[in-house]
Amino acid sequence: MSDQWQMGAIGHVESPYREGFGIPRQSGIVPAARGVLVPTTEWADPAAWQGIEAFSHLWLVWAFHAKRRMQAGDSSTVRPPRLGGNARVGVFASRAPIRPNPIGLSVVRLLEVQRDTAGVRLHLGGIDLLDGTPILDVKPHVPYADCPPDSQAGWANRAPERLAVVWGAAEVWLERLAPERLALIEQTLAQDPRPAFHDDPERVYGVRIEEIDVRFVVREKRAEIREIVTVHD
């Protein structure tokens, strides 16, 4: 490729998602997914973040650090989960993670700006990022520019249908876990993390959220939690 540009992380996001499986497929669909943007030493200066509280939402431009890059010889089409995993569209007609340049875009809610002797930290809501994701840029979300009122997104026009979530055999955890943790688990399962072509009601899936492994099955638009296991790395 001509016109090469060297880009570097200006910070990293601490996220409850420690593995790829289960990460929301777009930002905002799991509001309980909270993370912290920790600037690198070079960008920890509060001046660089001055006045950011004026904005309720921010764009994160980030790098798909855990995915390999698209390479010569790779197919330039992908199968979006929203199309059932069968139909192919071009990589530029999707937001698939394996792309010519490994750039991700997310709108996140700015919950709080923490400023102390350690520098600046941004507390964010609705993230769709793996723990440790490198951030390349942060910009304010500006609705009059970013939200053309007549934008139509074809097969991705509406948010995916949500599953109901039932605790069943894991009910005892309803009293053991903090409400934010319960909300995070429920919202993460509700967005149906299964690969698009899976529909096996017997199959037990595991989603890793912080130090917890949530094991569940999906039957007829309902995610049933089977077991909660605490994992020690």
Residue list 159-188, contact with a second copy (CB under 8 A) = 159
Residues 7-26 that bind a second copy (CB under 8 A): 7-10, 12, 26
Compute the distance between CA of residue 153 and CA of residue 195 in angstroms, rounded to an integer: 21
The secondary structure of 29-95 as a DSSP string is S-TT-EEEEEE-GGG--GGGGTTGGG-SEEEEEEE-TTSPPP-TTS-SEE--GGGTTTS-EEGGGS-
**Least distance from a second copy to the Cβ atom of residue 201, Å:** 28
Nearer to a second copy, 61 or 190 (CB): 61
Using CB under 8 A as the binding rule, whether residue 226 contacts a second copy is answered as no
Tell me which residues in 87-146 interact with a second copy (CB under 8 A).
88-95, 99-103, 105, 107, 109, 126, 134, 136-146
The continuous run of DSSP H or E covering 188 comes out as helix 179-190
State the Cα–Cα distance between residues 40 and 37, nearest whole angstrom.
10
The yes or no reply on residue 36 touching a second copy (CB under 8 A) is no
Q: Is 86 in the site for a second copy (CB under 8 A)?
A: no
Query: Judged by CB, which is closer to a second copy: 91, or 217?
Result: 91
Binding mask 63-82 for a second copy (x = CB under 8 A): x-x---------xxx-----
Distance CA 184, CA 29 (A): 11
Decide: helix, strand or coil at residue 132.
Answer: coil
